[in-house]
A = this chain, B = another copy of it.
Amino acid sequence: MADINISSLADRTAASHADPRTDSAEPMWDIIELLFFAYRDFVSDPDDVLAKFGFGRAHHRVLHFVNRHPGMMVADLLDVLKITKQSLGRVLKQLIDQGYVEQKEGENDRRQRLLFVTPKGEQLAMKLAGLQTERIARAFADLGPQAHDAARRFLVAMIDAEGRDGVQKFIARADRARRPRT
């Protein structure tokens, strides 16, 4: 996946409608495009595996977050994914029916359906996370020891300012959640 093959995209620049400074400064084309290509490759690894299970990216996202945050409420998941409950319902139902995710009644609030991955679900989730981790680890290996920190800070800074703290807490909390003993 994802070689570029621009073949002979050479010098057909003849009739370009270039009009510099339609906006203020020059756009950061490099980062804009690298984000596109990097993200596309990043999600392609899981996509290939998921296809064999008859799942798509939507299933991946649900499985990922439930695995990362066992005991998540449906409402929490909707908040994180920012999709409608109808969209979520469709893929969640499939994951439950096929035994990758299960629901348990909340102990305090019996309206809640707390979500957990089954062992089968965890196995798939970890497989997918492993693929993505391999790619990231390869990248960091190429770049030196400070790369992890630099990447983390870059990505955090790219998140909407209002959401930043929430995301970081969310990640930190999940780290605790998945390792009650250690």
Binding site for B on A (CB under 8 A): 1-7, 9, 12-20, 22-25, 27-42, 61, 64, 68-73, 75-76, 79-80, 82, 104, 106-107, 114, 116-119, 121-123, 126-127, 129-130, 132-133, 135-140, 142-143, 147-148, 150-160, 162-163, 166-167, 169-171, 173-175, 177-180
In the complex, what residues of B have CB within 8 A of residue A178's CB?
16, 18
Question: Complex formed: what's the CA distance from A6 to B34 in Å?
Answer: 30
What DSSP secondary structure best describes chain A's contact surface? helix
Beta-carbon contact of B166 and A15 below 8 Å: no
Question: Is the CB–CB distance between B142 and A157 below 8 Å?
Answer: yes
9 contacts between A and B (CB under 8 A): A6-B166, A12-B70, A13-B177, A22-B122, A27-B133, A28-B132, A30-B171, A33-B167, A35-B39
A171 lies within 8 A of B23 (CB) = no
Contact B16 A180 (CB under 8 A): yes
The distance in angstroms between the C-alpha atoms of A180 and B171, with both chains bound, is: 46
A61 CB, min distance to chain B CBs, angstroms: 8
Q: Given the complex of chains A and B, what is the CA–CA distance between A19 and B18 in angstroms?
A: 57
Chain B residue nearest to A173 (CB atoms) is B9
- With both chains docked as a complex, state the minimum distance between the C-beta of A69 and any C-beta of chain B, in angstroms: 6
- Chain B residues within an 8 Å CB radius of A16: 70-71, 116, 177-178, 180
Q: Are B9 and A116 in contact (CB under 8 A)?
A: no
